[in-house]
Structure 1
Amino acid sequence: MATPITSIKKTERTEMEVQQEKLADLQKQLAEQEESLQKLIEITSELHTIGALDALQAMLQSKEKIAGIAVGQVSREPVTNILNNLLAAAGTLTAVNPATVQQLSHSVQQGLHEAEQGVEEGQKTGVLQLMKAINDPDINRAVTFGMNFLKGMGKGLNDPTE
Structure 2
Amino acid sequence: MAAPIQKVIRQEPVKNPLESGSPSASEELQLLVEELHQSGVLEAARSMLGAKDSIAKILVEQLLRKDVLTLINNLMAAGTVLTKLDPAQLERLTEGLSAGVTEAHQTIEANQSISIMGLLKTLQDPDVNRALQFAIGFLRGLGKTI
Task: Note whether the superposition's TM-score is higher than 0.5.
Answer: yes
Where in structure 2 are the equivalents of 1:120-131 lying within 5 Å?
121-128=109-116, 129-131=118-120
Deviations 1:20-70 (A, max 9, x none): xxxxxxxx9599365222222222222222211111110010011111111
Report how many aligned residue pairs link the two structures. Answer: 129
Percent sequence identity over matched residues? 37
Unaligned runs of 5+ in 1: 1-27, 158-162
SS of the residue aligned with 1:86?
helix
| Alignment-mate amino acid for residue 114 of structure 2 | G
Unaligned runs of 5+ in 2: 1-14
Which protein shows a greater Rg? 1
For residue 45 of structure 1, the aligned residue among 31, 34, 37 is 34
| Distance change >3 Å, CA 112–CA 30, structure 1 → 2 | closer
Query: TM-score of the superposition, structure 2-length normalised?
Result: 0.74
- Residues in 1 aligned to 2:33 and 2:18: alpha-carbon distance in whole angstroms: 19
- Residues in 2 aligned to 1:74 and 1:47: alpha-carbon distance in whole angstroms: 30
Hey, what does 1:78 align to over in structure 2? 67
Hey, what does 1:101 align to over in structure 2? 90
Work out whether residues 37 and 43 of structure 2, in 8 Å CA contact, stay in contact via their aligned partners in 1. yes
Query: TM-score of the superposition, structure 1-length normalised?
Result: 0.68
Where in structure 2 are the equivalents of 1:1-162 lying within 5 Å?
32=19, 34-119=23-108, 121-128=109-116, 129-157=118-146
SS of the residue aligned with 1:32?
coil
Q: Which has the higher helix share?
A: 1
- Residues in 1 aligned to 2:82 and 2:19: alpha-carbon distance in whole angstroms: 55
Shift, 1:98, TM fit: 2.9
Hey, what does 1:160 align to over in structure 2? none
> Which contiguous aligned blocks of 4+ residues in structure 1 show a shift greater than 4 angstroms?
28-31
- Residues in 1 aligned to 2:57 and 2:80: alpha-carbon distance in whole angstroms: 31
Structural RMSD (CA): 2.4
